[in-house]
Amino acid sequence: MDEIIEFIKDMFKYIVIIGIIVLLRIYVLTTTEVVGNSMKPNLKNGDVLLVDQITKRFKGYERFDIVVLEQSPSYLTKRVIGLPGEKIKYTDGKLYVNGKIVEETFEIIGPTPDIEEVIIPKHSYYVLGDNRIDSKDSRYYGPIEVEKIVGKPFLRIWPIKRLQLVR
């Protein structure tokens, strides 16, 4: 009888551990794979990223954060360019936010074509790929509702030789 009680106690511990892991995976952390070349040169096709799903619940996102979007049937990785309520546009390859030039502080591929002024709705973000020549992003989909954002990748975990923080 004591063996059965010990077995039940051990099984309960494992069930609790598995439950915690499942909850963490669903609500706190997930992984995603970068598919395609739209985030080159900063992220490459096949990179596997660890994604924080908590930020959006407490803090939201800042300009130039990289985010993972749910865009059925897959996930996209893009960079936040415009925040809720802002007016953004590109003219001659320069980003204007609310009429002021904002310098992009990350490496991009190709020129950014002119984008007419867009007013970003409340609870939405304007996102672009870093490879402006080869990216389906808000130029194609329009501003992205915050509910479509899965989270913010913070660590590239694969390939292991390129393990590093995502910026």
Pick the closest to residue 66 from 35, 103, 76 (CA basis): 76
> Catalytic residue positions?
38, 78
Please name which of 165, 144, 164 lies closest in space to residue 80, comparing C-alpha atoms: 144
Structure tokens at 131: 């490879």
**From CA 143, how far away is CA 84, in angstroms rounded?**
9
Task: Give per-residue pLDDT as tens, 25-64.
Answer: 777 788 889 999 999 999 999 999 999 888 777 888 999 9
Where exactly are the structural domains of the chain? 30-165
Which CATH superfamily hosts domain 30-165? Umud Fragment, subunit A (2.10.109.10)
What does the pLDDT look like over 112-127, one tens digit per residue? 999 999 999 999 999 9
